[in-house]
Amino acid sequence: MTTRILARTPIDPDHASRVPPRLGRLHAVGGAPEPPRLDLEAAARELADADAERVVAWAADTFGDGLVLSTSFGIQAAVMLHMATQVVPRIPVVWVDTGYLPAETYRFAEALTSRLHLNLHVAQAELSPARMEALFGRLFEGDADALERYHRLRKVEPLERAFRELGARAWLSGLRADQTGHRAGLPRVGLQNGRAKVLPLLPWSSRDVHRYLQAHELPYHPFFEHGYASVGDWHSSRPVGEGDANERSGRFRGLTQECGLHLELSPEAAQSLDSSGL
């Protein structure tokens, strides 16, 4: 088991994230050499109906050492962790630890890291939870703007810093189209913040997830047994009910269904990341 805490990385003033991304070209990230031009739209069309394992293999062949995997160690996290490591056993796995995760998540992460021999990189905010609350209050209890600030401080900035340090050109994520309206509109292969984003499980249903977990004798997160279809921080997750629209209806007190990790940064947000010295 390899667990690495990612430290602060000074920003390169010529960092390619300052260049507006254009579809079909991946910009250099974290000082990495400029990658070859790649038609992501064509790749998305070609892989739209492909098996998830084939999509992972394509990403590994295409991006090599520039490919990373993100995980939340959420309810169904074992699927992507297992699938990706079958193809790329030492793929860097980035986990954003907000400091507010349930104890069960930390134990679940430890168990999967050991079982799957994950090359785990733990990304954390520079502000501890106690310091953040002392300076800004309990942002996660505030309105939508306060919640957005919380997500930026504790999730988006640490993830971007991790990607830059690892020189990530592309990342695998286990998003599914049936989880939210935003995710339903995503391509199987796309571009986010200057990096290719590859979604092998995008067309999968919860039944597909269940079948894969059973076939490989993999566990759900312990909260699955308590009615949770999605789990993140302890303060922003609840079980889903019969009237809920989708798996993520139990997140963020109904203010949003996305935490910012899977959204393109606005120019203002990108500038904020640059000015923060990440």
Between 77-87 and 52-63, two packed helices, what is the crossing angle to 10 degrees? 50
Up-side HSE of residue 275: CA atoms within 13 Å toward CB? Answer: 6
- What Å distances lie between residue 129 and 6, 84, 99, 166, 277, CA to CA? 17, 31, 6, 25, 20
Query: In angstroms, rounded to a whole number, what is the distance separating the alpha carbons of residues 133 and 41?
Result: 43
Please, which residues have CB within 8 angstroms of residue 213's CB and are 6 or more apart in sequence? 76, 78, 79, 219, 220
Residues shown for the chain: 278
Is there a catalytic annotation at residue 259?
yes
Identified catalytic residue from 259, 265, 273, 278 = 259
- The residue assigned the tokens 């092998």 is 200
User: Using an 8 Å Cβ cutoff, are 235 and 140 in contact?
Assistant: yes
Query: Does an H or E element contain 263, and which?
Result: none
For residue 197, list its beta bridge partners: 171, 190
The greatest distance separating any two alpha carbons of the chain, rounded to the nearest whole angstrom, comes to: 51
Active site residues: 259
